[in-house]
Structure 1
Amino acid sequence: MLSVYEGFFSGGARIVHSDVVTGLQEGGLHRQRVLSVHGEVHREATRQRMEDDACYRALTAAGVDVTTLGRSFGPGSGAAGTFTGSELADTARAMAGADVVLSLKEQPLALLNQAGLPRRPVIVCLHRSDPEHQGAALDELKAAIADGTVVACVCCAESTRVAYQEAGIPESLLHVIPNGVDLLRFCPGPARRIVLRGALGIPPTAPVVVFAARYDAMKDVPLFLRAARVWLAREPHGHVLMCGAGMSAANPGLVADVSAAFGADLTRLAPRLHPLGVRRDMEVVYAASDVVALTSAWGEAAPLCLIEGMMCGAVPVSTDVGDTADIVEGHGILTPPDAESIALAWTGAIAGRDAFGPALARGRERFSRTRMIAAYAALITRVHAEATLPPLPETL
């Protein structure tokens, strides 16, 4: 099986998909390869090289062969959707050894739709709930379906299935496989909680909110920061952690957003706002937190941060976008996109953390990585079997 990535960069979709590929490789039923269109990506105010990416390292450690066309994505990177003869030859060689191709989201279809490539059944893995915001990618998806190249679409959430069906994708092609996480890795950890808090100078009993997201407009970082200002002003011992690509003092956009949101309170409150950037130990960060927050305005489907944080014992507090209402129900709090309401919800979640605990523990299996990988394996096996069926005899 060949998985085609647009590139390696921080984001829940790449984490989930790489976990699926790794799990299938570990299971031994499917031999995995990965082809990345871009070898490095410049986004979220960060240069992200493929070789430095945590997903790349996990894949190669599991024995998955990862190659790239070597492109660089960012300002001035050239026209999208055009490929050289050498790039098409490399793609053809990668596809020739595969029985089934997985496309991580619809963007790689600009490559897979090129004429002259080997015909292989393609499964597109969809991880957002806003197909209309994906530029030309939706048209590429429709073209690949009309051509018979795309034979199935995996939707990571029910909201994804509904959005793409409404956008004109045939219902029969849309299969919902909810996101899952490694429950052995993402679990409550008292020792983790103490160690990270000690490293950051946070007292053991101080209330902590974590925001795990890349620096992107859909995450509505300014809204989160306005809520953080309100909450930190009311909680004299509270701390806020920010993790993800672009969530560091090296990002001038984030620095400006913090200054705008905190205003006259910047000097007084900023010492309790911790921009940590990209972390490789998110299970530790979540375990050290009381609340995992999300303030996204659009595009989310099944946000990985909410699931990972919940499994580590943090109470999820989120705006209503994608499948967040279903994920949070019974486990946390849904809020309107208003800073005052969000800050109050964080306080309520911390006060009721013990009450949410039993529901979080009972719901763990629903978010299992094992369940997710088994569902992917079943769909891939079915697609492969249907692709290799002998042709029906012609009727006289």
Structure 2
Amino acid sequence: MIDSQSQTPGAARNTTGLSFILILSALMAFTSLSTDIYLPAMPVMAKDLHGDAELTITGFLIGFCIAQLIWGPVSDHFGRRLPLFAGMVLFIVGSVGCALSENIGQIVFWRVFQALGACTGPMLGRAMIRDLFSRTRAAQMLSTLMIIMAIAPIAGPLLGGQMIKITSWHSIFWLLTAIGTLMLISLIWLPETLPEEKREKASLAGAFRNYYTLLSNAQYMRFTLCLTFYYIAAYAFITGSPFVYISYFGVDPQHYGWLFAVNIVGLMAVSVVNRRLVHRYPLETLLKCAVTVAALAALVLALGVRMHTGGVVLIVVTVFIFFSMNGVIAATSAAAALDAVPNVAGSASALMGSLQYGSGIISSLLLALAGDGTPWTMAWIIALFTLISAGIALTTRVVAVADN
């Protein structure tokens, strides 16, 4: 149902056609694509660049985290389209820099630069959904977008694994350059969802003060932190799995993509179910159920790895359950958080995205600093932070909100 405070039903119908959904899905997939596509190449990159390949993810997430805090108020002030165009240009330049890098320092720098642009996609994708839809409908739309955008983390590692087999890792970043260029062109057909009369009227400097208001909003922060801690756990798998599967268990890099993709299939399946569930149950109830299941799977993973039982099968099965819950957790927590602060959706989405994806910095640093060459470090990080996420969700009261 269209949010009566966002747009008229007719305007929303004209805006949210198939092209709008496809472009928005691609924008929201930018983060996954920018990282997942070169995961199979990370062990090779570490050897070629004589450095810690995990730092390329850390650098990307640092840029991603900081840039969103800038783009959020800018989008509330100037609209959504302008930051998207600027972001795609920055992403293209950063991708070229990565492709031309010759050492670990250079590629980490350009990964930061690449992230300055990539972050506009998922951040403004969420904000545009909130511009158009009410609480429950926004959760349903976000689940729909996750189903489509899940193609990227499935296709990314598979494509990257095949590319590293026949060419160098540099070509992966040239491919990202081409994809960024196509996305820049596609933005021509993306409509503006934040009309002039609904934009932030205060000065741009004043718009940044919205972050203080957001940080002091308990309802918004509760959902945001729940998502943040879950993503620390998720990034522990994303960052650590190439070395666990390829280096520790000896999985062929070309086959790694399939092991990664199975988790995304689970995410897609749960997202399909979630589209129906959001109309029957409160978002808070769905969130509590999802994080509880994820926490139980994470505990089994950590205990099994610690006891040296189950091998790679244990990791594949438990991570599949854990990762599949992302289909509910991301959609429900984002919709509920943004519903708490509808007048500053751009800044709210930016702060949420900054914490959500910036949390991966914690994962990659913990893996780099505490890694012992076994799956244990990845396992305990996943378990610890999923339990914290569950603790936050389970203490959240259910709020009955009528969609208008």
TM-score greater than 0.5 by the shorter chain: no
TM-score, normalised with respect to structure 2: 0.24
Larger Rg: 1
The structure, 1 or 2, with the larger RCO (C-alpha pairs under 8 Å, 6+ apart) is 2
Which structure: greater strand fraction? 1
Which structure: greater helix fraction? 2
